[in-house]
Amino acid sequence: MKKDLPPSSEALIEAFLEMFASERGAALKTRLAYKADLENFACWLAPRSVSDGRRKDIRDYLTQQGSEGLTVRSLARRLSSLRQFYRFLLQEEVIKDDPTSDHPGFRYKSGLPHPLTEEEVKRLIEVGTCHHDDPRRDKVSKAALELLYTTGLRISELLGLSAKAVQRDGPMLLVRGKGGRERLVPFSEAARDAAIELVNYDAVLDSPWLFPGRDPRRPLTRQGFDRILYACALKADIDPKRVSPHVLRHSFATHLLNRGADLRALQVLLGHVDIATTQIYTQVMSERLKEIVNNYHPLAVS
């Protein structure tokens, strides 16, 4: 398909991707996804350049993609790619009008997992991390679950932590997230104690990682961690299908929002570049918001 790409379109897409990498620190996988979306549209629009794209072109393109079987989720992603691309062209004064500005978004279920209750998380940490056959498994489980739930880290961020990260003084943990972006997140004293206990226990391994794998020179793999989490869920009498690193991250966000956390603060804690990504968590607050209105609005029916 790329052979049909007009040279002007190819140059503009490359310029956008360069900006995306340098200014936003976008990972290679993310850049490739944007590139695929933009090149698909550029080839559809050919022989005209993407700089000549109009509102009708955006509508016709997405309508055709939908009629060819593209899912609503994929359509939403392509529209998002086009919006960011045309905003870039507008800022660079390549175009004078953004053809995506008034296009309605696509509604689809976000696919967020159901969060665990606060009681279930407490049981998972207190019961699920104890009395494994291997005493080291208790320490790994305790440190990992405490950190996941009290920081909201992605599993890749957790497994990428160095042993030194938790040994620094202070209540903040330095995390390297997507695109190499770093952020500071607070973590509990219990999480720090559990992590340091694991580091001390593993001192003989001389590993640079907080969670070493079978080869101490490498971190624990995602598959290895999944097996640990599965065993913890069984011990806590929770269906293992309901427990995953992402579920714990989602539970972290949900419980904070339910207790009155600010959405902007949650965005920073989760490491989201765009507040729109964080806003998908607000759907879990609907019942709480209804309760607030019913309890405090002067015209609410008692």
Q: Where do the structural domains in the chain lie, given as residue ranges?
A: 2-91, 118-288
- The Cα–Cα gap between 87 and 84 comes to 5
Give the pair of three-digit tokens for residue 294: 């019913």
Strand partners, 182: 176
**What pLDDT shows up at residue 178?**
77
Of 166 and 23, which is predicted with more confidence? 166
Which residues are known catalytic residues? 154, 178, 246, 249, 272, 281
Q: Is pLDDT of 5 > 80?
A: no
- Beta strand extents in the chain (DSSP E only): 172-176, 182-186
Top-confidence residue, 145 or 282: 145
Specify the 3-state DSSP secondary structure of 120: helix
0.75 cut: is pTM over it?
no
Q: What tokens does 177 get?
A: 């997230």
Which residue's structure tokens are 């976008």? 26
Q: Is the pLDDT of residue 56 over 90?
A: yes
Candidate CATH numbers 1.10.443.10, 1.20.1180.10, 3.40.50.450, 3.10.50.40; the one for domain 118-288? 1.10.443.10
* Mean pLDDT value of segment 263-288: 77
Q: Which of 12-26, 79-93, 164-178 has the highest mean pLDDT?
A: 79-93
